[in-house]
Amino acid sequence: MTTSIEVQTTTIKRSYKKHRSKEEIVANILIAARKSATKTRIMRGAYVSYNLLQKYLRYASVSGLIFYDHRINRYQITSKGMQYLNFFNQYQDTESDLALKKSIISKMLENNEGESTMPSLSMEETAF
């Protein structure tokens, strides 16, 4: 009698999103650089590769969101960068509110699928 042993492998879900927008990556970099940070600390805190870090640090620097302090060899967020984070957080809150409302609307449709909450009108009432 032969038995086969199946090995189940589990995948570990990452705590960060797989596909992030450019704005979200920049926000993650700015959050990591809030208290002045090296490239390595930003890279680890924002969950980006070195090549992506280089690209987005350049982008954020040119935009005036972050600057490199040569004296202490660290990146620091600017006041414009803090304003960016505030606007980005407001955007995320609005996006979350809209997603919640969409979910509620969908559930309302699902719950009332078989029954109509609208009063039925007779043919005379619908004539103009």
pLDDT tens for 79-113 read 999 999 999 999 999 999 999 999 999 999 987 66
Instruction: Report the C-alpha gap between 47 and 29 in whole angstroms.
Output: 9
Instruction: Report the C-alpha gap between 89 and 72 in whole angstroms.
Output: 29
H-only helix segments in the chain:
22-32, 39-46, 50-62, 79-111, 123-126
Instruction: Report the C-alpha gap between 34 and 81 in whole angstroms.
Output: 9
Tokens standing for residue 34: 């809030």
> For residue 21, how far is the Cα from the chain centroid?
7
pTM exceeds 0.85 for this model: no
